[in-house]
Amino acid sequence: MANTPQAKKRIRRNDRRAVINGNRVTRIRTFVKKVESALASGDKAAATAALASVQPELARGVAKGVLHKNTASRKFARLTKRLSALG
């Protein structure tokens, strides 16, 4: 249990940030799922558009600290590879 006022404040802050960061990760996953569903349906135009919208979301996740840089890079590279294989 936190004893100092600062430790109590950090607990409150961490709870608020956990909600915000969880929402960010969920949003990124949703964008990735849109690309995957477009790839599964074989719609290259929709997949290209969805991939273009996923890239800034991944970059934002890295900038905000909810994703590791290499994780975002790996996800984008694998989606791009699947899109080019669809061609």
Domains identified in the chain, total number: 1
Boundaries of domain holding 82:
5-86
Q: Angle at Cα 87 formed by Cα 46 and Cα 51, nearest 5°?
A: 35
Nearest to 82 by CA among 47, 56, 49, 52: 47
pLDDT (tens digit, 9 = 90+) per residue, 12-28?
A: 999 999 999 999 999 99
Say which CATH number the domain at 9 has.
1.20.58.110
Q: How confident is the model at residue 87 (pLDDT cuts 50, 70, 90)?
A: confident
Query: How many angstroms separate the most distant Cα atoms in the chain?
Result: 60
Is residue 54 within 8 Å of 32, Cβ to Cβ? yes
- Which residue's structure tokens are 């994780």? 71
pLDDT (tens digit, 9 = 90+) per residue, 38-70?
A: 999 999 999 999 999 999 999 999 999 999 999
CA distances for 68 relative to 19, 60, 62, 63, angstroms = 18, 11, 6, 9
